[in-house]
Amino acid sequence: VFVDRYYVQAMYNIKQAAGRAGVSVPVLRAWERRYGIVRPERSTSGYRQFDDDSVARVRTMRGLVEAGWSPSAAAAAILDGRVPVPEMPPLEAARPTRAGAGTQDIAGAGAGAGASAGAGAGAGATDAEGSSGGRELAERLVSGAAALDARAVDAVLDDFFSRGSFERVADTLLFPALQRLGDAWAAGFVSVAGEHLASNAVLRRLGLALDAAGSPSGGRGRVIIGLPPGGRHELGALAFAVAARRAGLAVAYLGPDLPVDDWITAADGAAAAVVGVVTARERRAALHVVRRLVEAHPDLVVAVGGAGALDEPGVIRLPASLPASVAALAGALEGGAQPG
C-alpha cells in the first residue's frame, strides 16, 4: 500500500490472507498451528495479521500440496529454503509504456463525443506518469484482482478514468497498471481468475468508451481494426479503436481472432485495416493477414500496432502512444501514401 510516496507493508486479516493464498480459513489455521508455515503478528485487539510474505509462503505450500507433496514435507521444504518462495516484484513507477506517450492530446480536440470510459474526461491529468498516484492505482487494481473483489476493481477503474483524457489515462496509467497486473499474475500473486476479472472489467470500460466516442459509420473512409486469427490480446487494439474514433475516424472494431479470409472480405471498400499484435504467435498470424491484405487490396492503407508489431513492406508500423498512432494512421489516410 502506498501512503504518500512510501511503500507501507500491506497487512491482511485471516480471511483476506486465506483468500489471497487460495486456501480456506481452517486450512490456513491448521498450517499455521501444525507446521508453523506462518507466524502472524497480532493486532492490538489480538487478531492475526498476515503480510505479503506470509501469503506467498501459504500459496507456495498450497502449490506443493496440489502437486502431491504431503503438507509436512511441503512446509519443511519451504521453511528450510529448499523450495523458494517468490517475492512480490517491486512495483515500478507507473510510466508511459513507450517514449512520447501522453505528450500530445490530438484526440481530445478532434471529433467524436469526447466522453471517456465510465466517468467524464476531467480537466487534464493530475497524475503525471511516475507519480505515487499512478503506482497507488496500479496497486489497487492488482489488490482488487488478487482478492477477486469486483467492486474494488470497478472503483479503481472509475478512479482511473476520472484522471484525464482517455488517451492520457490509457497510455500513462491504465496500460502500466495492466502490465503490473501481468507481472503479479506471472509471480503467482494474482490467480488466472483474478487476472480475468480485471482484464474483463477493463474490456467493458473500453467498450463503453468506444460507444461513447460516436456512432460507427460504414462506407467511405472506413477503418477496420481487429486481431489476427488466434489473437486474443485485444485491450491495446480496442483502446486504439476508441482513440481513432474520438479523433473522428470511421472505425469498425472487429475484435479478436478474425480469420484471414474474413479480413479480406471486411476490407472490401474500407480505407484502412489495422491489425493488433502483442505476442510472437500473434505476430506470425498477423504477418499472414497483412500480406494477404496488401495483395488483395492494393489501395488499402494497412497498418499494424502493438508490442509485437512487424516491419513489412507496404505496411505501416504504428507507434506505441495512442495519440501518435492515431496521428500516424490519419496522416497515411490523408496522404494516401504507402510506405515502400
Q: Applying CB under 6 A, which residues contact ligand B12?
A: 97-98, 175, 178-179, 181-182, 185-186, 195-196, 199, 203, 230-237, 240, 274, 276, 278-280, 282, 305-307, 318, 320, 325
Q: Work out how close the CB of 25 gets to ligand B12 at its nearest, in angstroms, rounded to a whole number.
A: 29
Q: Are strands 272-276 and 222-226 parallel, antiparallel or unpaired?
A: parallel
Helix (H, G, I), strand (E, B) or coil at 12: strand
Give the whole-angstrom CA distance, residue 323 versus residue 31.
Answer: 52
Q: Work out how close the CB of 298 gets to ligand B12 at its nearest, in angstroms, rounded to a whole number.
A: 22
CA separation (Å) from 311 to 68, 82, 99, 103, 248? 47, 46, 19, 25, 27
CA separation (Å) from 199 to 153, 204, 222? 10, 9, 28
Q: Work out how close the CB of 215 gets to ligand B12 at its nearest, in angstroms, rounded to a whole number.
A: 21
> With respect to ligand B12, which residue has the nearer C-beta, 31 or 253?
253
> With respect to ligand B12, which residue has the nearer C-beta, 109 or 186?
186
Of 5, 25, 1, the residue nearest 13 (C-alpha): 25
Helix (H, G, I), strand (E, B) or coil at 326: helix
> With respect to ligand B12, which residue has the nearer C-beta, 214 or 236?
236
CB contact set of 122 (below 8 Å; sequence gap of 6+): 162, 163, 164
> With respect to ligand B12, which residue has the nearer C-beta, 37 or 213?
213
Cα diameter, the chain: 73
Q: Work out how close the CB of 141 gets to ligand B12 at its nearest, in angstroms, rounded to a whole number.
A: 11
Q: Work out how close the CB of 101 gets to ligand B12 at its nearest, in angstroms, rounded to a whole number.
A: 7
Specify whether the backbone of 214 is left (phi greater than 0), alpha (psi in -120 to 50) or beta. Answer: left
CA separation (Å) from 68 to 57, 64, 189? 17, 7, 21
What are the residue ranges of helices labelled H in the chain? 14-21, 25-35, 52-66, 71-79, 106-109, 132-146, 150-160, 166-169, 175-186, 192-212, 235-246, 260-266, 280-296, 322-335
> With respect to ligand B12, which residue has the nearer C-beta, 212 or 274?
274
Q: Work out how close the CB of 309 gets to ligand B12 at its nearest, in angstroms, rounded to a whole number.
A: 8
Q: Work out how close the CB of 173 gets to ligand B12 at its nearest, in angstroms, rounded to a whole number.
A: 11
Question: Is-contact 282 233, C-beta < 8 A?
Answer: yes
Q: Work out how close the CB of 302 gets to ligand B12 at its nearest, in angstroms, rounded to a whole number.
A: 12
Burial of 182 (0-12, 13-18, 19+ CB in 10 A): middle
> With respect to ligand B12, which residue has the nearer C-beta, 61 or 244?
244
Q: Work out how close the CB of 279 gets to ligand B12 at its nearest, in angstroms, rounded to a whole number.
A: 3
> With respect to ligand B12, which residue has the nearer C-beta, 40 or 305?
305
Give the whole-angstrom CA distance, residue 22 versus residue 159.
Answer: 28
> With respect to ligand B12, which residue has the nearer C-beta, 54 or 165?
165
Torsion of the alpha carbons at 36, 91, 137 and 1, rounded to the nearest 10: 40
Question: Is-contact 257 229, C-beta < 8 A?
Answer: yes
> With respect to ligand B12, which residue has the nearer C-beta, 40 or 112?
112
